[in-house]
Structure 1
Amino acid sequence: MQQDIYIVGLIVDERGSKAPEVQQIITRYGNSILCRNGIPSPSRERGIITLTMEATPEEYGKMKSELNSIDGVTVESIHFSQQETFQVCKSN
């Protein structure tokens, strides 16, 4: 099954109260996530998370839907369609 690359940006309003639910969803899709970055500063009410993932369109769509169902979470992404599996590193 074809897996594509998604660069996903999340804005989490009321980060302190929403973070546990967001984290549970991200953890469920952990096998598809290649990289995760976040700004965890406790002084910020708004959290920013970026994910790079390799997933089928269905997997990505399910994760996005779950995240969007949380009030105060916004999800935007860039989608790169791949004909082959993404290789993080190649040896010669």
Structure 2
Amino acid sequence: MSKIDHLSVMSISVDQRTNSAPKVQEILTKNGELILGRFGIHDPREENTGLITVNLRGERSRINNMMDQLNGLEGVKVNHMEA
């Protein structure tokens, strides 16, 4: 682990799941080397809404870049917390 690596957790709320999910998946795949673990669920009462939690390790600038890409998608909201 380098000194610039940071452990963190990101939550990704996806509205309009059927439209946004492929784009979210593409961004997560492109940044796969940052992802330690991932868990995704959807609320059975909210058919088109999902929540993804991601455990990350990496440079803060790369994590911020991924957050910016995700936040740029319609219907996607990102929260991030460093450990």
Tell me the TM-score normalized by structure 1.
Answer: 0.81
What's the secondary structure of 2:81's corresponding residue? strand
RMSD of aligned residue pairs (Cα, Å):
1.5
Contact persistence 2:43–2:49 (CA under 8 A): no
What's the secondary structure of 2:48's corresponding residue? coil
Structure 2 unaligned residues grouped into runs of 5+: none
Tell me the TM-score normalized by structure 2.
Answer: 0.89
Structure with greater strand share of residues = 2
Aligned length in residues = 80
Confirm whether residue 45 of structure 1 aligns to residue 48 of structure 2: yes
1:34 and 1:73 map into 2 onto residues whose CA distance is: 21
2:76 and 2:27 map into 1 onto residues whose CA distance is: 12
Structure 1 unaligned residues grouped into runs of 5+: 81-92
Percent identity at matched positions? Answer: 31
Q: Which among 25, 28, 45 is matched to residue 27 of structure 2?
A: 25
Moved over 6 A (4+): none
